[in-house]
Amino acid sequence: MKRLLKILLACALACSMLLSAMPAVQAKEFDNKIEVKIDGVDIKTDNGYFFVYPNKTDSVRKIKADEFNFRYTKIFVFDKDGLMIEAGENMFANSATQSGSIQQYLSIPAGGFAFAFKGAGSAELKSCYSVVTENAMHYNSTISVIHEAYGSYTDTHFTVEYNNPKKSETAKTFLFVGNSATYVNGTPIKFKGLALAAGLDVDVDYSTVGSSYLSEFANESHTNGITLRRKLKDNKYDYVVLQDAGTCVYYNTKPAVDKLLPLIEANGAEALLYMRYSASSTAQGRVEGTKQHYDNYSQISKELSIPYAPAALAYAICIEKYPEINLYSDDNSHHSKEGSYLIACTMLMSYLGVDPRGNSYDAQLGDIAAKLQECAYIACTEGYNFEEEPEKEDTFTDKKGDVYKNIAVKKPYTVTGSVYTSDKWTDADASGKPIGKLTDGTYAEDGTDPMVGCWKNVGHAVTIDLGSISQLRAFKTDMFGNTAWGITDPKDATVTVEISNDGVKFNSVGVVNASNRTADGDWTRYDFILELGAPVMAKYVRLTFNGGVFNWVSEISVYGTESESGNTETSDTDDSDEAESQGSQTDEEAESTEESLPEYKEHENKSIAWLYWVIGGVVAAAVIAIAIFITKKK
């Protein structure tokens, strides 16, 4: 009997030790519990509705997306404790870069499992899917989830439990507006997870569509614009995060932001910017793309006082500091899970002012999370030092060898043509005024470049205000043509150049024909260059483009020497008069110097006089002292 008791006690002790070593089982009660009979384990999804894919190893199991035909299924991924960590749908292994699948492999953590189901199989599971993904826009991939849900399976059944979402009255609500550079891998959800781990209550919502432009959301007639306006009407937000397409530059994004700001303000929300990363598949392209996005978002941020999350800078920092971390997904264009987490960390600090370093939410990235947190912190506090590029100055060398610079850069201008309303090539803001593409100092090489500024109407004129009467030597502009697009080839076009001192009366200085033809596919490009026989003086320059219906122009250069005095008066003096004028200015400067000189001398003389008084006082005191000494001696 005693021996039996010892055996029972030993068994009890062993069981106790075994139980203590097992992962804790969730004892929490959930609002919803769904149980379905599975059609198989590790089999294709061609026959049936519900399937389980376990990972009984100590390392991550990677399944190619088309191995079990996941294309028409939704997927839940659970860790070893049964906690749901990812969800996704429509995965397929298109290996083409850029246009390929974002995620070609399903990754199952050690000891965890995945569950795939077809949408028609269970309306309850579809509801669970909507809850855990927070209705985030995504495709061809899985995204991180933080909504608490647990799953388990047997040889015959799968079970998932989760709670219904409860909206917090105190949560700060963020609406994300953009495209796949925002929604891929559940970046807003990761941002929410980081905020919650920091003790901040945050909710996220989406108005995101793949390959979309902010200009589409700004357009009240576009599907994206209609959807966004409906969201802003039906919901109250604290912040609206704006992100534009990868090809966009300042001239595309700024007009769209200008149109969106009144909508955001009417909602009572504050606008924020997300400086997206470069989607280029080459190292050089990523460097250039990073600079492009920095220039775009930082300039808008400065002009409109809108905070931005510097994800592009964090990418550049991480690529240099931790090259072993892959920030890009399987298509080598979109962000990976690591990249998504890095972006979310920059948002945490930029939008909420919270240092991401040491945050407990790591999105199952382990030690990598700390490195990404560090890179985000550096980007937000120190920025990124771009390599200084040699300044490219637009100059013209005349026949004598004299060099003149382009003095029209950043100068304002007016246009008589009608606004071309294309989001990418327009040169007009929301009010119809020029936004400055034609004098930004940049010539485009391709007609698709967004630096091109287009105006409509044959014979439209551009008048540039140089700010002061300046010496002008030559003029240059360009025109693009693409007959397939309905843009007339400018080979027969002409440009008339006129000048004025008052902006009212203009005199022609020449008409120039097309030259220096270049071609790129269906696009042709011509230069229009006019060199004057002798310099002329003027404050205004007007170029009239006599070409097609669309004037596809990227830049206008006026080469000369700006007036240093800023004088706007005309002068009829010849060289000798000018010399006399300069002489009189010199006399005035000398007179001014002489007038100020006595004041300095007087101050100097006062200082010397004070010194004399001090010396005299010391001598007098010494004489008195000696006299007293002699008197006492006697």
**Taking 60 as the threshold, does the pLDDT of residue 549 lie above it?**
yes
Predicted confidence at residue 101, as pLDDT, reads 80
With cut-offs at 50, 70 and 90, classify the pLDDT of residue 26.
low
| 372 and 426 belong to one structural domain | no
With cut-offs at 50, 70 and 90, classify the pLDDT of residue 119.
confident
Q: Which range marks the domain in which residue 570 is found?
A: 395-575
What is the side-by-side order of every strand in the sheet holding 202-208? 202-208, 172-178, 239-242, 270-274, 308-309
CATH of the domain at 526: 2.60.120.260
- For 51-101, how does the pLDDT look when each residue is reduced to its tens digit (9 = 90+)? 999 999 999 999 998 899 998 999 999 999 999 999 999 888 775 544 568
| 385 and 401 belong to one structural domain | no
Predicted confidence at residue 389, as pLDDT, reads 63
Calpha distance 57→193 (Å, rounded): 28
- For 338-367, how does the pLDDT look when each residue is reduced to its tens digit (9 = 90+)? 999 999 999 999 999 999 999 999 999 999
Calpha distance 90→139 (Å, rounded): 6
| 156 and 172 belong to one structural domain | no
Residue that finishes a domain, picked among 330, 359, 389: 389
At position 254, the amino acid (one-letter code) is: K
Determine the distance from the C-alpha atom of residue 424 to the mean position of all C-alpha atoms in its chain, rounded to a whole number: 16
Predicted confidence at residue 156, as pLDDT, reads 97
What is the side-by-side order of every strand in the sheet holding 149-153? 32-37, 157-162, 149-153
Calpha distance 531→516 (Å, rounded): 15
Cβ–Cβ < 8 Å for 332, 97: yes
CA-to-CA separations, 378 to 75, 133, 284, 301, 383, in angstroms, rounded: 36, 30, 22, 19, 6
Residue 335 lies in a domain: yes
**Taking 60 as the threshold, does the pLDDT of residue 158 lie above it?**
yes
Closest C-alpha to 315, from 343, 295, 345, 291: 343
At position 523, the amino acid (one-letter code) is: W
| 194 and 273 belong to one structural domain | yes
| 253 and 297 belong to one structural domain | yes
**Taking 70 as the threshold, does the pLDDT of residue 18 lie above it?**
no
Instruction: State the SS3 of 393-450.
Output: CCEEECCCCCEEEECCCCCCEEECCEECCCCCCECECCCCCECCHHHCCCCCCCCCCC
| 129 and 199 belong to one structural domain | no
Residue 634 lies in a domain: no
Predicted confidence at residue 564, as pLDDT, reads 64
Parallel, antiparallel or unpaired: strands 202-208 and 413-415: unpaired
Predicted confidence at residue 270, as pLDDT, reads 98
| 44 and 134 belong to one structural domain | yes
Calpha distance 588→585 (Å, rounded): 5
Residue 412 lies in a domain: yes
Residue that finishes a domain, picked among 389, 419, 448: 389
Residue that finishes a domain, picked among 389, 406, 422: 389
Residue 289 lies in a domain: yes
CATH of the domain at 293: 3.40.50.1110
103-126 average pLDDT score? 93
Residue 349 lies in a domain: yes
Of 36-45, 65-74, 310-319, 359-368, minimum mean pLDDT range = 65-74
**Taking 70 as the threshold, does the pLDDT of residue 448 lie above it?**
yes
| 403 and 433 belong to one structural domain | yes
Place of tokens 């978002």: 297
Parallel, antiparallel or unpaired: strands 157-162 and 172-178: unpaired
Residue 89 lies in a domain: yes
Residue 8 lies in a domain: no
CA torsion sign for 452, 455, 461, 467 is negative
Calpha distance 387→389 (Å, rounded): 6
Q: Which two tokens stand for residue 209?
A: 């569509």
Parallel, antiparallel or unpaired: strands 50-54 and 40-41: parallel
| 378 and 407 belong to one structural domain | no
Domain tally, the chain: 3
| 375 and 419 belong to one structural domain | no
Instruction: Supply angle C-alpha 465, 471, 476, rounded to 5.
Output: 65
| 319 and 452 belong to one structural domain | no
Predicted confidence at residue 617, as pLDDT, reads 54
Residue 305 lies in a domain: yes
At position 87, the amino acid (one-letter code) is: A
| 449 and 358 belong to one structural domain | no
Q: What is the per-residue burial (b if ≥16 Cβ within 10 Å, else e) of 566-583? A: eeeeeeeeeeeeeeeeee
